[in-house]
């Protein structure tokens, strides 16, 4: 299957990041807990079979961007399919933060997960996460855009108006909620975070969208896929939000496994993703709002190159305990 991305560089950040691609990839490294003999930038499955895990119950967590209770129902049919394919019980694990999700996999409590775009490098480096799939449209295209949003009457009509004000991010592990806009503001608009504008954090994308819509935040950075789903479900009205900037397209949430699951189990989990019938499913109803209707194979080395570049531009280091 041929993969297609609409564009993977953010506006004016492209020139800054492109020059550093090789360096960013070369400097990315895994925690000493893991090995990467094949050089694909993800943890190898342990060679010693005694280190393989084959749990009776698989624990799955979706990236904590919105109400976990809503997404437990959205994923229910898919998890039943995974049970059929793997022969295992599968439990949905609601997580409240990216850091909690990464820690759960690092500690061995989480087996299968969808990690958001920005947290992928940290999950790969520190938790032994092995991403293999991503949602995509029928033609194989994928991704979402980072948007800077405000509300009518905020007095912020363009990006330059953020100078001297407070820009609300989601969390430091989020690509569209923090990493990409921080690099963008410096490279394209000449504004340095913490110097030319103040920052605060809402914790999640839906918090930022609701905060702007309800005028608790003047301006925020979000993933438009989250914002659009919230508008479509009637959580907010479209006229409560104004978009003053939209980036080009980034890869979206990846799906993968803990590195030390038994190889046959990892293969069965992958089969569950790629054999799932989206037609009439809750996944189709929810994620079809963004035009997504299948899982496609991806690699961290290729599809997350631009995210590692953004991390490099922001001086991010992956401090693994």
- For residues 204 and 194, give the distance between their C-alpha atoms in angstroms, rounded to a whole number: 20
The neighbour count for residue 63, using CB atoms within 10 Å, is 24
Same domain, yes or no: 52 and 70: yes
Q: Are residues 282 and 215 in the same domain?
A: no
Residues 150 and 263 grouped into a single domain: no
Shared domain check, 24 and 102: yes
Q: How far lies 213's CA from each of 8, 43, 240, in Å?
A: 28, 41, 5
Structure letter (DSSP) for residue 20: T
Q: What is the pLDDT of residue 6?
A: 35
In this structure, the answer to whether residues 45 and 103 fall within a common structural domain is yes
The pLDDT assigned to 321 comes to 64
269-308 pLDDT, tens digit per residue, is 999 999 999 999 999 999 998 899 999 999 999 999 888 8
Distance between CA 257 and CA 131 in Å, rounded?
Answer: 7
In a domain, 78, yes or no: yes
Q: Is there a domain that residue 8 lies in?
A: no
How remote is the C-alpha of 68 from its chain's centroid?
A: 15
Do 133 and 256 meet the contact criterion of CB atoms below 8 Å apart? yes
Check whether residue 98 and residue 204 sit in a common domain: no
User: Total domain count for the chain?
Assistant: 2
92 neighbors 72 (Cβ within 8 angstroms)? yes
Q: Could you tell me if 131 and 263 lie in one domain?
A: yes
Would 149 be classed as within a structural domain?
yes
Residue 281 lies in a domain: yes
What is the C-alpha R_g of the chain? 19
CATH of the domain at 299: 3.40.190.10
Q: Let me know whether 198 and 93 are in one domain.
A: no
H-type alpha helices, 107-170: 120-127
Q: Is residue 4 part of a domain?
A: no
In a domain, 1, yes or no: no
CA-to-CA distance for 188 and 181, rounded, in angstroms? 10
Pick from 249, 276, 300: which residue ends a domain? 249
Which among 194, 216, 249 is the end of a domain? 249
Domain boundary among 196, 218, 249: 249
pLDDT of residue 257: 98
Cα–Cα distance list, 34 to 112, 200, 293 (Å): 18, 34, 34
Q: Are residues 264 and 182 in the same domain?
A: no
Regions of the chain with pLDDT less than 50 = 1-26
Which residues on neighbouring strands pair with residue 147, listed in sequence order?
222, 246
Q: Tell me what pLDDT residue 66 has.
A: 62
- What is the CB neighbour count within 10 angstroms for residue 116? 27
Question: Is there a single domain that holds both residue 242 and residue 267?
Answer: no
pLDDT for the residue numbered 13: 39
Residues 209 and 101 in one domain: no
Distance CA 145, CA 252 (A): 9
Residue 108, domain member (yes or no):
yes
Question: Alpha-carbon distance 82 to 268, whole Å?
Answer: 8
- Among residues 19, 20, 18, the alpha carbon closest in space to that of 9 is found at 18
pLDDT tens digits, 91-130: 999 988 889 999 999 999 999 999 999 899 999 999 999 9
Query: Cβ distance 94 to 61 under 8 Å?
Result: yes
Please check whether residue 320 lies inside any domain of the structure.
Answer: no
Phi, psi of 115, rounded to the nearest 5 degrees: -100, 140
Indicate whether 30 and 130 sit together in one domain: yes
Range of the domain at 289: 13-141+251-313
In this prediction, residue 65 carries a pLDDT of 65
């Amino acid at each position: 299957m041929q993969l297609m991305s609409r564009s993977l560089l953010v506006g004016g950040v492209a020139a800054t990041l492109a020059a550093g691609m090789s360096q960013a990839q070369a400097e990315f490294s895994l925690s000493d807990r893991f090995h990467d003999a094949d050089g694909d930038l993800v943890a190898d499955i342990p060679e010693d079979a005694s280190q393989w895990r084959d749990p009776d119950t698989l624990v799955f967590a979706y990236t904590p961007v919105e109400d976990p209770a809503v997404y437990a129902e959205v994923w229910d049919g898919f998890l039943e399919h995974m049970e059929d394919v793997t022969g295992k019980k599968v439990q949905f694990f609601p997580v409240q933060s990216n850091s909690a999700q990464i820690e759960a996999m690092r500690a061995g409590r989480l087996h299968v997960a969808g990690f958001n775009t920005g947290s992928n490098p940290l999950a790969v480096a520190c938790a032994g996460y092995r991403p293999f799939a991503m949602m995509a449209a029928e033609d194989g295209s994928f991704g979402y855009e980072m948007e800077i949003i405000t509300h009518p009457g905020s007095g912020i009509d363009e990006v330059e108006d953020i100078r001297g004000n407070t820009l609300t991010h989601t969390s430091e592990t989020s690509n569209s909620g923090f990493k990409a806009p921080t690099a963008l503001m410096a490279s394209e608009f000449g504004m340095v975070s913490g110097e030319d504008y103040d920052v605060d954090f809402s914790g999640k994308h839906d918090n930022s969208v609701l905060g702007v819509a309800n005028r608790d935040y003047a301006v925020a950075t979000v993933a438009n896929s989250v914002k659009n789903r919230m508008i479509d479900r009637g959580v907010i009205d479209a006229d409560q939000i104004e978009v003053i900037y939209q980036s080009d397209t980034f890869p979206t949430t990846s799906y993968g496994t803990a590195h030390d699951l038994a190889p046959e189990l990892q293969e069965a989990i992958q089969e569950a993703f790629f054999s799932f019938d989206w037609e009439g499913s809750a996944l189709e109803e929810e994620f079809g709002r963004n035009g997504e209707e299948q899982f496609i194979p991806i690699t961290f080395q290729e599809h997350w190159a631009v995210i590692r570049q953004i991390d490099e531009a922001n001086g991010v280091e992956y401090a693994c305990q």
